Amino acid sequence: MSPETLAIVMFFTLFVGLMLGHPLAFTLGMLAVVFGVIGWGGSADAVYALLANRAYGVMEEYVLVAVPLFIFMAQLLDASGIAERLFETMHIVMGRIRGGLGIAVIIACTIFAATAGVVGATEVSIGLLAIPALMRVKYNIPLIAGAICAGGTLGILIPPSIMLVVYGSLTQLSVGWLYAAAFGPGFLLSALYIAYIGIICWIKPEYGPAETESKHTPAEKIAMFMRSIVPPIVLVIIVLGSIVAGVATPTEAAGMGCAGAIVLAVGYRRFTWKMIKDACWSTTITTSMIMTLFLGGNAFQAIFMGLGGGDAIANFILGTQLSPLAVLFLMMGIVFFLGCFLDWLGILLIVTPIFMPVTMELGFNQLWFGTLICVNLQMAFLTPPFGYSLFYLKGIAPPEMNIYHIYKGVVPFVCLQWVGLILCIFVPDIVMWAPVKFFGTSVLG
């Protein structure tokens, strides 16, 4: 069996292992060892040496230090009550508008995503507050589910996003460039969600009734709005502004973000040592999961590429004689399909080394293409059967909201994500405007 054929068998064996229910990280690592030994003449020592070298390389990747720091910051922000204040304020400001509470969910998720950068923290925090409020005024249950799930996924795209940090590490792209590029698509998707909720509630008023009572004057609403919006905006400026301005690296900015999150917790009178302990423990668990996947994925990459699998797939894609645009949509379709079964990190680890040679051959801008991949990966959180956002919501949903409501509710938002992705493809300035503005024409390659 040729090395290329062995690599293809390795790739499909991965899906067999996943369908049998084996954990992704250990499936990737085990396949790397087994197929490495088979492909390199039975020399286990050579395989172990290669994998140890790759693992050491991962541990030396300085930018990855930002991952636990951003996770820790998200945990602190969650405990500090920022999400609670954001939603309560938006509830008061938007509640009397038809569909206003649904729009409030998206706005609160967008702002919290720009501070936290973690899907689970955003979705659970906002969901626990929003579900009772929306069900009390008899919002359409699938619309509630879809808005919370879709709003929560903004945390993986809008900076500071750990996905962008990981992608930058895999591709050696500047994380600052990626952060600047993700702003346009992130806020575009937020605007699409808001527009959809507003339109559907205008067409079908029963989907999003307005609240009839308001105990707050306009001046009180403005004051509440400023108190809840200004602190997270300042934190965003500190963290993202320092990266974009070139004052700090992503890792240094993440450290400043953690300090800022502690200050906010103290200011909101939520700071306790138990909060710090719980945040540290949650960060340890999440970081361990991510790094275990990273090590398994790097092992799989090393053997798969060493056997020539990447070249074989790239040659196959290029050999189809499709136009560059058709090849781009083919790759986006593959990422979308994988998103139904794998999480975002597993997909990045698998497709990045395969797609990069193809995109270079076709002359795609790597920053633009990488951002498209990250926009696409938002859908991995929403697509059945294994979308993480679906299970986050199910874990906090009341009995009246079953899994059918959740699946039904996310379908329109997945379609909106495709609309956003297609707009980013045909209007590249959505992605590239901010990087060019902040970093100059060097980002154009």
Does 282 or 428 have the greater pLDDT score? 428
Task: Select from 371, 387, 413, 423 the least CA-distant residue to 106.
Answer: 413
176-185, 189-198, 338-347: which range is least confident on average?
Answer: 338-347
Please answer whether residues 303 and 32 qualify as being in contact, where contact means their C-beta atoms are separated by less than 8 angstroms. Answer: yes
Lowest mean pLDDT among 1-10, 18-27, 372-381, 400-409: 1-10
| Whole-prediction pTM | 0.85
Output Rg (C-alpha) for the chain, integer angstroms: 22
Q: Is the model more confident about 317 or about 327?
A: 327
CA angle 19, 24, 25 (to 5 degrees): 160
Q: How far apart are CA 158 and CA 181, in angstroms?
A: 10
Around Cβ 284, how many Cβ atoms within 10 Å? 13
Going by the DSSP 8-state scheme, the letter that residue 95 receives in this structure is T
Which helix H or strand E contains 319, and what residues bound it?
helix 309-319
Q: What is the mean pLDDT of residues 146-154?
A: 90
Question: Where residue 13 falls among pLDDT bands split at 50, 70, 90?
Answer: confident
Report residue 13 as tokens. Answer: 């064996």
Q: What is the pLDDT of residues 336-371, one digit of tens each?
A: 988 887 778 888 888 888 888 889 888 899 999 999
Reported as a single tens digit per residue, the pLDDT across 108-129 is 888 888 877 677 777 877 888 8
Q: Answer left, alpha or beta for residue 402, where phi above 0 means left and psi between -120 and 50 means alpha.
A: beta
Is 4 within 8 Å of 311 (Cβ atoms)?
A: yes
Check residue 445 and give its pLDDT: 66
**Average pLDDT of the segment spanning 2-26:** 79
In angstroms, how far apart are the furthest CA atoms of the chain?
A: 77
Q: How far apart are CA 306 and CA 82, in angstroms?
A: 47
Cis peptide before 385, with omega less than 30 degrees from 0? yes
Structure tokens at 303: 């053997």
**pLDDT of 75:** 82
